[in-house]
Amino acid sequence: METDSAIDRSDRWDIRHFPTIDSTNRWVLDEARAGAPSGLVASADHQSAGRGRLGRAWVAPPGTSLLVSVLLRLEIELEKVNTVAMAASLALLEGLPSELSSRSGLKWPNDVVVGDRKLAGVLAESILPPGDKSNSPEIAIVVGVGCNLEQKEFPAEVSAVATSCALELEKTITRDDLLNSFLSRLAFWSDEISSGNHWSVISAYRARLVTLGTSVRVDLGNETFEGIATDIDSSGRLLVTKINGEHVVVSVGDVVHLRSF
C-alpha cells in the first residue's frame, strides 16, 4: 500500500493506493468499522474481487480503470443514504472532461452512460453505529466507483453495452486527473447533503437521469414488468407506470432501457 502524496488534494482526503487488492470497498468498510475518519480514500490499479450492484463482479484489466472507494461520515437520516450514492454518481459525471460529460448521462440508479453504453458504475454501502440505530446521528457510507478509462476493446459479452474514456475522447485522461475532479465534485455534493440541501442533489441528479421518459423493463427478482419511468421520489426511488397503468415505486432492482432518446 502507498500513501498518495504526489498530488495535492487538500487535507480533506487521506488517499491510500494499492497496486492490487481484492476490493477497495471491502478495505474501506473494514477501516470504517475500525473507526477511520471521514475522507479515507482507497484507489487501486487492479481489483481481484471488485463488486458492483446486486452482487455483480466488476472486472477490468490492471491499470485500465479508475477504481476508488471513499469513506464519508455524515449526520443524515437513514432514508437519505441513497442521496449519497446519487451525489457520487453526479460527482463522477461532472468530473469527466466537459466534452464527454456534456453527452453523458445517468442511468438509474447509479450508472454513468454514453448513449446506451456504460462508462462507469457506483456502489454505496453504509454502516450504522452500534447500539440504538434509530437515534444515531452519524452514518458511515462507503462509495465505490469503477470507471472505464483506457480500454480499447471489451469481452464479447459486454462489447455492445460498454465504453471507455479512451473510446469516447480524442485526448487522454489519466486516473489522477479524473480522481481529482471526482473528489472535488464529491466534496461539493456531500457538503450540500451535510447542510440539509439534499433536494439540490435530487434536482441535479434528476436533470441528468436519462432513464426518465424511457420504456424500461424492471427485474425485481421475484417479478419482472415493463413500463415507463416517469420520475424519482425524495429518496431517489424510481417511479414507473406499468403498461396496465399501475404506478410502482422501485427501490432496488435491475432496470433495462428498452428505448433510448
**Tens digit of pLDDT for each residue in 67-76?**
999 999 999 9
Q: Say what the pLDDT of residue 130 is.
A: 64
Q: Which residue has the cell 460498454?
A: 162
Q: Are 106 and 113 in contact (CB under 8 A)?
A: yes
Region 99-119 average pLDDT? 96
Instruction: Please say if the pLDDT value at position 37 is more than 50.
Output: yes
Instruction: Please say if the pLDDT value at position 51 is more than 80.
Output: no
Q: Say what the pLDDT of residue 128 is.
A: 77
Instruction: Please say if the pLDDT value at position 4 is more than 80.
Output: no
Instruction: Please say if the pLDDT value at position 7 is more than 60.
Output: no
Q: For the segment 244-259, what is each residue's pLDDT rounded down to a tens digit?
A: 999 999 988 788 888 5
CA atoms within 13 A on the CB side of 152: 2
Q: Domain 2-207 - what CATH class?
A: alpha beta
Q: Say what the pLDDT of residue 61 is.
A: 81
Q: Are 61 and 151 in contact (CB under 8 A)?
A: yes
Instruction: Give the rounded percent of residues in the chain with a pLDDT score beyond 70.
Output: 88
Instruction: Please say if the pLDDT value at position 134 is more than 70.
Output: no
Q: Which amino acid is at 45?
A: D
Q: Say what the pLDDT of residue 181 is.
A: 97
- The CATH 2.30.30.100 domain(s) of the chain lie at 215-257
C-alpha 135/C-alpha 123 separation (Å) is 25
- The CATH 3.30.930.10 domain(s) of the chain lie at 2-207
Enumerate residues 6+ apart whose C-beta is below 8 A from 109: 53, 82, 85, 86, 89, 236, 238, 255
Enumerate residues 6+ apart whose C-beta is below 8 A from 246: none
Q: Say what the pLDDT of residue 58 is.
A: 54
Region 1-11 average pLDDT? 54
Instruction: Please say if the pLDDT value at position 5 is more than 50.
Output: no
Q: Say what the pLDDT of residue 254 is.
A: 81
- What kind of fold does domain 215-257 have according to CATH? SH3 type barrels. (2.30.30)
